[in-house]
Amino acid sequence: MKSDLLRGARHGIPIALGYLSVSFGFGILAVREGLALWEAVLISAACVTSAGQVAGVTLLAAGGGLWELALVQLTVNLRYALMSLSLSQKLDDRFTLPRRLAAAFGITDEIFAVCAAQPGRIAPAYMAGMIAVSVAGWVGGTALGGMAGALLPTRVTDALGILLYGMFVAIVVPPARRERGVRLAALAAAGVSLLLTLAVPALSGSLSVIIAAVAAAALAAVLFPLPAEKEEDA
């Protein structure tokens, strides 16, 4: 039990280090959008989702409605449902319902990827250790970024504003290079999003993200469906 906890914590260290730089960017963005430091930290601690938080904070700063916020989170974070589904098949029998409900809080892209790559079944303590260390990095980085945002010169914080988008590019480009379906989904999403922003200025940014993403993913799913029998674990 204890060794599972430590092993999970150790596997969480590289995740936490990666989160530090990304959540640093989120902290800067959130404060720049007019949120208080404690609000940025609260959002990171409560949500633990990079893309969802960026979309949420941007919408929040624009005074978007709560239903719109819920819809944005649903679309941006829908991928977690697939990861949860996949990971739920890999849990050992110590994973009681309360433990599943607790561990679900920490299913992120990176934690999913590391857990999915583990041989055999996953123990609750292993996931708990990994989530604790990773979330500490996520929340700590947000606090540092939020504080730095107020101290650093504007020229520096302006440049750091691109950090998160750099991360998004790093996530999308390698699979887009490899797979035609991902390439199509990305190009179509970029095209529709750009078109909507230019052609329908009244549409909020997050709504155009939802429309572009759903249309592009549906197009890719129709033209390049996944192999019928292969268990997909993205």
Partner 1 sequence: MSSISYHLAAVAVMAAVTYLIRALPFAFFRRPIASRFLRSFLYYIPYAVLTAMTIPAVFTSAGSPLSAAAGFAVALVLAYMRLPLIAVASAAAAAAFLVSFFG
Rounded least distance, CB 4 to partner 1, Å: 18
Positions in 63-92 near partner 1 (CB under 8 A): 63, 66, 69-70, 73-85, 87-89
Say how far apart CA 147 and CA 133 lie, in whole Å: 21
Residue corresponding to tokens 């999913």: 112
- Does 182 sit near partner 1 (CB under 8 A)? yes
* 14-33: contacts with partner 1 (CB under 8 A): 18, 21-22, 25
**Two tokens, residue 138:** 């996520």
**Shortest reach from residue 136's CB to partner 1, in Å:** 18
| Given 7, 33, 37, 100, the residue binding partner 1 (CB under 8 A) | 100
13 contacts partner 1 (rule: CB under 8 A): no
The correct pick among 1, 2, 155, 201 for binding partner 1 (CB under 8 A) is 155
Least CB distance to partner 1 at residue 64 (A): 8
The nearer residue to partner 1, 39 or 147, going by C-beta atoms, is 39
Interacting residues with partner 1 between 117 and 136 (CB under 8 A): none
DSSP label of 1: -
Q: Does 201 bind partner 1 (CB under 8 A)?
A: no
Q: Is 176 exposed, middle or buried (0-12, 13-18, 19+ CB in 10 A)?
A: middle
- 3-state secondary structure string across 31-88: HHCCCCHHHHHHHHHHHCCHHHHHHHHHHHHCCCCHHHHHHHHHHHCCHHHHHHHHHH
Alpha helix segments (H runs only) across the chain = 2-32, 37-47, 50-61, 66-76, 79-88, 97-103, 109-116, 124-151, 154-160, 163-178, 180-199, 205-223
| Window of 4-12, 59-67, 113-121, 138-146 that interacts with partner 1 by CB under 8 A | 59-67
CA atoms lying within 13 Å on the CB side of residue 34: 6
Binding piece for partner 1, criterion CB under 8 A, among 3-11, 129-137, 143-151, 156-164: 156-164
Candidates 97, 117, 199, 202; binder of partner 1 (CB under 8 A) is 97
Give the nearest distance from C-beta 120 to partner 1 in angstroms: 18
For partner 1, the closer CB: 3 or 140: 140
Does residue number 200 form part of the binding site for partner 1 (CB under 8 A)?
no
Q: What is the largest CA-CA distance in the chain?
A: 57
Q: Which of 7, 39, 116, 136 binds partner 1 (CB under 8 A)?
A: 39
- Count of residues engaged in binding partner 1, rule: CB under 8 A: 102
The closest alpha carbon to 185, from 219, 211, 227, belongs to 219
